[in-house]
Amino acid sequence: MELISKISKGTKMDQIYIPKNRPGFHTGEYVKIIPVNERPKDNYYVYNIKEVPPIKIEIAKQIFQIIESMINYDNIIITGSFLDENFKFNDIDIIIITENKKEIEKSIKEKLKIEVHTILFNQSLLIEALKIDPKWRLMLSRCISKKRIAPLPQRKLKYRYLDVQLIESKTLMINFNYLTGKEKYKLTRNMMAISMFIKNKNISNKSIEKEIEKELDTNIEDLKNNLVTNDFFKRYKTFYSKLEKEIIENASKQEKDA
Amino acid sequence: MLDLFIGNISSAISHEILMISTENKELASRYKKERDNLIVISEKYRHNINPISDILPDKDIEYIKSKVKNKIKSELSSRIKKGYKNINLNIIEELIEKYLRAVKVI
């Protein structure tokens, strides 16, 4: 058994960090340290992203390292707008699969000097999230992870849960004239992801954008650049109302059958 | 502007009550970023309602509270009529107070 790690600078003494969840190398045991000649390859997995700029890979690696040094984890998943082709992200969404409940967001922000949004899950809650919530399926459809991600579990339709998720998209109808293109895009994407989840369609940013173009008869770039007009608003409202009605009716049925 | 403010606050509270009533409330509350957006938007509208730096006059507060309450009740009652269980309408007023305080209306 061998572990490869980097010597890092300390105040009084330098140190070598090793993962807390490791077979062997128990606390108190003596070990021999010898140098390796090549820099070891960092392991990470990239899902559905053609090319990640080296700077973003470097940031992802730093995030993995920081979290590794703080808590035990099953996986770390980086997702969200950080992985878009441009550099216009507001923050970095980090999903940490762990039994740990320690608040680490502040420490990561301080170390990285970048705004981050950490979401902690234990294994069973993540599996439940992937079964019933299209949002998490969408998040995992495009990501960088520290370890390999298992295939998605079979979806389970819980209409009352979907009702709660859909209400977020009502914001577009209340504030249509005051929202930015980015906000309109996100709210439309949420609504369409729910609709596709019910229809058992594959959920990814690309497939959702195609569906928005088809169902709402709009160009996705126009939506993102806030160039949509009242005609779009009318189509959105019709689509939302129909979907809401379907969800509430099915939720009522599920409630009665329970 | 006032109508938009009322619309957003009502929507945020309806959302919270529905969220509390689902059996998966722990999961529903996990991704707060989008929901917090409603509060951010409400705050933006609040900054355009006079008096900007002080709480609103009692008459306006009562008007907002009553409008918000009606909107929430209408949103939730349609669901209760359809058969939704465990929706607690008793917490509406408490949540209205909480949200209005957060955006410095009261």
ipTM: 0.87
Query: Closest-CA residue in chain A for B36?
Result: A168
Taking residues A26-40, report their average pLDDT: 81
3-state secondary structure of A45: strand
pLDDT of residue B104: 78
Q: Does A163 touch chain B (CB under 8 A)?
A: yes
Taking residues A93-109, report their average pLDDT: 89
* Residue extents of the structural domains in chain B: 2-102
Query: Closest-CA residue in chain A for B7?
Result: A174
Check CB contact under 8 Å for A252 and B84.
yes
Residue A84 has pLDDT above 80, yes or no: yes
DSSP one-letter code for B89: G
Lowest mean pLDDT among A96-105, A132-141, B24-33, B40-49: B24-33
Structural domain including A172 reads 159-253
Q: Which of B19, B38, B78 sits opposite A164 (nearest CB)?
A: B19
| Residue A9: Cβ within 10 Å count | 7
Measure B83 CA to nearest chain A CA, in Å. Answer: 5
Check CB contact under 8 Å for A164 and B28.
yes
**Which CATH number is A54's domain given?**
3.30.460
Chain B neighbours among A 226-255 (CB < 8 Å)? 248-249, 251-252, 255
CA R_g for chain A: 22
Domain count, chain A: 2
As a dihedral over the C-alpha atoms of residue A195, residue A129, residue A183, residue A104, rounded to 10 degrees, the angle is -170
Between the alpha carbon of residue B91 and those of residues A104, A146, B86, the distances in Å are 32, 43, 12
Residue B24 has pLDDT above 90, yes or no: no
| Residue A51: Cβ within 10 Å count | 8
Residue A41 has pLDDT above 90, yes or no: no
A46 shares a domain with A135: yes
Chain mean position to CA A107: 20
A107 shares a domain with A163: no
pTM greater than 0.95 (yes/no): no
pLDDT of residue B41: 80
A106: in domain: yes
A46 shares a domain with A136: yes
A191: in domain: yes
A29: in domain: no
Of B32, B36, B33, nearest in space to B11 by CA: B36
E strands, A61-142, in order: 75-79, 92-97, 116-121
pLDDT of residue A10: 86
Query: Closest-CA residue in chain A for B42?
Result: A175
Tokens linked to A158: 């819980």
Residue A258 has pLDDT above 90, yes or no: no
Per residue in A196-230, pLDDT (tens digit) is 999 999 999 999 999 999 999 999 999 999 999 99
A74 shares a domain with A167: no
8 A C-beta contact, residue A202 and residue A192: no
pLDDT of residue A39: 64
Cα separation, A74 vs B50, in Å, equals: 51
A227: in domain: yes
Tokens linked to A42: 């960092």
Taking residues B78-95, report their average pLDDT: 93
Q: Which of A123, A145, A167 is the last residue of a domain?
A: A145
Check CB contact under 8 Å for A167 and B14.
yes
A1: in domain: no
Per residue in A59-69, pLDDT (tens digit) is 999 999 999 88
Q: Which residues of B touch A257 (CB under 8 A)?
A: none
Residue reference for tokens 């955006």: B103
3-state secondary structure of A143: strand
A32: in domain: no
Q: What is the mean pLDDT of chain A?
A: 91
pLDDT of residue A1: 65
Confidence band, pLDDT 50/70/90 cuts, at residue A40:
low
Per residue in A14-25, pLDDT (tens digit) is 988 887 767 678
Q: Does A121 touch chain B (CB under 8 A)?
A: yes
Q: Which residues of A touch B83 (CB under 8 A)?
A: 252, 255-256
